[in-house]
Amino acid sequence: MPIKQAERWAARWFEFCLYLILIGIPVSRALVEIGSTGALAGWIWLGFIRKNWGFRSSPVFWPLLGYTLFSGLSYFWSGHRDATLSSWVGKTIQYSGLYLAAWGGLRDLKTIRRLLWATLVIAAIICADGLYQIATGHDFFLGYGAGLLAEGRRMTATLKYPNDLGAYLGFVFWIGAGILWADLRAKRVRCLMLSLLLTIIAGCVVLTYSRSAWMGLGAALFFFTLLSRKKKMAWIAAIGLMTLAALLPTRFMNRGSGFFDIHAGSSSEERLLVWDATWKMIQDRPVAGSGLNTFNAEFRKYKPEQVWGNPYVHNSYLQMTAEQGFIGLILFLSILVGFFSYGLVINPGLSIEGRLAHGLSAGLVGYLVHSFFDSNLYILPLAALFWTFMGITSRLHALAAVSTRPEKS
């Protein structure tokens, strides 16, 4: 088989597997696993054909390698080695691979745009399913019931949990925002339809009643307006956000203000109790933690009597520090520093690629803020979303740097 034809088939397989991941994120963990395995195989195949996997040129290769290796080394001090090894092979390596595969396997803007539009179409279907759920009491595809708040009208759609849906749609919103910003000079009908879809997505985020998703969306908006470098846009966005908040029904306002209403039996009180117990875990093993994927087993020793069951920590960074110590947390934060500094330095945001990248970067900021109040980085579909799109965003930054580079005379 000629080299060009082999590369074309490998690229098609790689793209197909990425679509499987995109479909699976809101619908099926199994599909995410299948798509991830296929995408990694496709990237390796492409690397052999191109004789270059591209990972060494990644802006976060060294901190990512350090984080991945340190996570694996925690096997040696873990009290639950089977769980640690399983998580390292099945999750940590997979997530690192998804970032590197998206970075190294995607080389052209057309393919990336197809993936972004596919994500928006999938999100539109999920929104329709969520609205169906609100109307009927269960979602169309998987039969999940709505959340208990708001008289059983808290939207979850196919993701089962409202916070997960909020994290997903809160990120996808900024994919659409990036496309809209990149295509402002395109046909008006397309821009109007995209604006309508963004309004629906934002409305569905509100209907999740997820306060952490709301905060993530607000943080992403602030970051996006900073990247736009236009004070007028920043003021319009801020005024629009305040106007929208003021027009929301009272039950939404009460839900937002309830975050600061800490009393016995409230979700805020339980979360603070879990955070306090987690901090005690960290104090016992501050340097290297208790080992990857050991939080649930170790937390039982610290769990307060007021907390029922074995809850999530609802803070990805506290859980990371408890399991991997401050070394693991610093390595992860160094990945984020490398990622964002790379984009801000080389991408002025003037090109289509640059605007798309800035839209996705805003979405990632919102996701990370949301993760401070939830376990997004430890939920497989949402973690796959994060690492895959961080790789795609890095590639867009690189393409933007090339497209805005002055030509040599």
Percent share of the chain, pLDDT over 90? 69
Give φ, ψ of 138 to 5 degrees: -150, 150
Tens digits of per-residue pLDDT, 88-116?
A: 999 999 999 999 999 999 999 999 999 99
Cβ burial 337-369 (10 Å sphere, 16+ → b, else e): ebbbebbeebbebebbbbbbbbbbbbbbbbbbb
**pLDDT tens digits for range 239-278:** 666 676 666 766 665 666 555 566 565 667 788 889 999 9
Q: pLDDT at position 222, please?
A: 86
Higher per-residue confidence, 401 vs 74: 74
pTM: 0.93
In the chain, the amino acid numbered 167 is A
The three-class DSSP label of residue 39 is: helix
Assigned token pair, 359: 């839209």
Across all residues in the chain, what is the average pLDDT? 89
Other CB atoms closer than 10 Å to residue 267's CB: what's the count?
13
285-340 pLDDT, tens per residue? 999 999 999 999 999 899 888 777 777 789 999 999 999 999 999 999 999 999 99
Residue 169's closest CA among 129, 110, 229? 129
Cα–Cα distance list, 29 to 18, 171, 208 (Å): 14, 18, 21
Reduced to 3 states, what is the DSSP secondary structure of residue 145? strand
